[in-house]
Structure 1
Amino acid sequence: MTTLRNALFALLLAFTAAPAAAEVPMVGRFAAEARCPAFQSLRQETNPGNVLVEPGKSYQLLARNADPASHYYIVVPGAEPERRWVPIGCGRVSDGSQQADADLLRPASAPGSDERPALYVFAVTWGPAFCEGKPSAPECAGGGKGDRFSLHGLWPQASEYCGTAANLRDRPWSRLPEPAMSATTRRSLDQAMPGTRSYLHRHEWARHGSCYGTDADRYFSDSMKLLGALNGSALRPLFVERAGKTLTLRDVRAAADRSFGEGVGWRVSLHCERDGRRRIITEMTIALAGKITPSANFSDLMAAAPPVRSDCNSGIVDPPGLQ
């Protein structure tokens, strides 16, 4: 039985990860917000020419690799070959008027209210690694927290910027409207998401929370509940214990299996960046599916989502303080 279950997992992963079988056509532009590798092959993580997308540049958008997506397929002029895969967290998508995927034309309704389970990406940051790249950020005054994961965002996969005025999308985060939430929720959010000092919460609400189907208070409260479950799992001590050492995706997924159920580790992805001679883990994303409520079970949400690829198989867990 175990052999059969493992075989089914491998088969499902193959269908989810293979670009030729699972890519979903898209029409529009990809606006890069970070320098990220542009892969020719997701499966082999090959990058001829060591091509990077550059912040502030816009690229033709061709497809995403799956639902939920981990990568976008874009055209990088001058690269050989010019068609490349980039992680979704490296920028934002502006869809064209003739969207190839009809699902993306429909704004997200309340979580789980559609006939199919709603799909999400839950993103968390490892503070010290983030601060290596942005040491001047207000939240990095102490080098970033190294004892727990910090909230980046909860991203509905059906759409972005729902009902958001077009002229707000390119504004600096400090000039975006402040999401309405209770004082209690805001105090908790300041602890869970140190990036509130850089107005990250305004960006997350405008881009992703607006498509969640609730008000901002509920959106951030649900996000923090998920973060609490993650920080209460075997994943947090694993990162703490490996500070300064290399951590593999295999070990991360095994810890997820121990905490949330056999096989759910396939929903976890790592994202890494170069820091001098080191390759450090900056972020972890988790695929979720279903109706997210205050009583929702994190294990069930993970198990309901399809397996995903990871663009990083190992990296160093950055210790507290700038290295």
Structure 2
Amino acid sequence: MTRLLVLLLLALSSTSYGFRMLEGEFTANKTCDLWCSFKKHRNTGNHQTAIGSIYRIMGDNKPGGEWLQIRDKDNSIRWVNKTCGNIKINKPIPFDYFILSISWQPTFCKEQKNKPECQSSNTLFALHGLWPTTDKKPYPAYCQGQIAKPFGHYTTLPLDQELSKKLSSNMPGTQSYLDRHEWHKHGSCSGMDVKTYYTKSVNYFQWFSDSPVAKQLKSHKGKIVSSKQVKQWINQWSASQSISLHCIKQNNKTVLKEIRLYLKKELPVSPNSQSFFQYAKRSNCPDSFYLTP
């Protein structure tokens, strides 16, 4: 009966808050209220955390949300703000493959003219991110209990000078703290530490940038290309089921916005043709599209 009640409460939480089940431990480092309902600020019995005490994590209100659901010492289910302690997630959130997202930077900068990285850049390809992905929703995000924040509100990532330089060169968005956002939202789900995550991200991005596909696209900037032709370039390098193209409407033209590489979950540090995951969601680009210069 008790187990049935717990499952019912979790189901209700999921419906109301986008609840995500997690397994782990929360260690309180300050005294905070333990709410029956954080939305209504209801704390029946005036429960509070005890500094140094460890609580079992049941889940959070949503990926990137501010609230953890825990079991209090009397076995009741309560909500606590994530800033009230340290979070340790014991069971990784599963995923099936990676998506390496690569922006066609001129299209991005047409939309985001005021971004720092768009003021003086002449880059065509830009690293957006490396995303652990599954076909089942919700997609993995903020997997170590992180809170979603504006990009610049995250602290500097602990990367050495050489890797930081490489990352800045390949991900112009570091000027807008994109690297911090991508690590907390996606890298935290990768099973890698931050250095390994960005080493592989840069290596795979550079692998694509040096590919015949990238060279052909660069040589056709400012021109209309056919999807059929681009697929032929892709097939010469890899397999069409491992790369997808994504377009948007911009100034009454259909333009390339993003290229996605689908990669295996077990990524070696050095990319090779065996790294591809033979699956790609259908490209949304039409028969022909424009490569913004």
For 2:131, the aligned partner's letter is W
Query: Corresponding residue for 2:222?
Result: 244
Q: Distance in 2 between matches of 1:144 and 1:137?
A: 14
User: How do 1:34-45 and structure 2 match up within 5 A?
Assistant: none
Which of 251, 276, 293 in structure 2 is aligned with 1:276?
251
Paired residue total: 207
3-state secondary structure, aligned to 2:278:
coil
3-state secondary structure, aligned to 1:120:
strand
Percent of aligned pairs sharing the same letter: 27
Post-superposition offset of 1:160:
1.4
Query: Corresponding residue for 1:142?
Result: 120
Change (3 A) 1:94 1:178: closer
Range with greater deviation from structure 2 (120-129 or 175-184): 175-184
Post-superposition offset of 1:143:
5.2
3-state secondary structure, aligned to 2:156:
coil
3-state secondary structure, aligned to 2:218:
helix
Change (3 A) 1:271 1:93: farther
Query: Corresponding residue for 1:120?
Result: 98
Q: Is the 8 A contact 1:249 1:269 kept in 2?
A: no
Q: Is the 8 A contact 1:271 1:311 kept in 2?
A: yes
Change (3 A) 1:93 1:121: farther
Which of 254, 259, 281 in structure 2 is aligned with 1:308?
281
Q: Distance in 1 between matches of 2:213 and 2:275?
A: 17
Which of 89, 92, 97 in structure 2 is aligned with 1:107?
92
Which of 117, 139, 144 in structure 2 is aligned with 1:163?
144
Q: Is the 8 A contact 2:126 2:171 kept in 1?
A: yes
RMSD: 2.6
Q: Distance in 2 between matches of 1:241 and 1:277?
A: 23
Query: Corresponding residue for 2:155?
Result: 177
For 2:156, the aligned partner's letter is E
Which of 260, 263, 270 in structure 2 is aligned with 1:295?
270
Q: Distance in 2 between matches of 1:224 and 1:249?
A: 27
Q: TM-score, normalised by structure 2?
A: 0.64
3-state secondary structure, aligned to 2:249:
strand
Higher relative contact order (CA 8 A, sep 6+): 1
Q: Distance in 2 between matches of 1:160 and 1:123?
A: 15
Unaligned ranges ≥5, structure 2: 1-13, 19-61, 69-90, 135-139
Which of 152, 161, 165 in structure 1 is aligned with 2:128?
152
Q: Distance in 1 between matches of 2:261 and 2:98?
A: 8
Post-superposition offset of 1:187:
0.6
Post-superposition offset of 1:318:
0.6
Q: Is the 8 A contact 1:125 1:283 kept in 2?
A: yes
Which of 183, 191, 202 in structure 2 is aligned with 1:224?
202
Q: Distance in 1 between matches of 2:205 and 2:254?
A: 25
Change (3 A) 1:143 1:280: farther
Q: Distance in 2 between matches of 1:199 and 1:248?
A: 34
Deviations 1:257-309 (A, max 9, x none): 1123xxx1122111222221222111111211241121342x2122x332421
Q: Is the 8 A contact 2:244 2:281 kept in 1?
A: yes
Q: Is the 8 A contact 2:63 2:142 kept in 1?
A: no
The structure with the larger Rg is 2
Q: Distance in 1 between matches of 2:254 and 2:237?
A: 26
Q: Distance in 2 between matches of 1:236 and 1:254?
A: 13
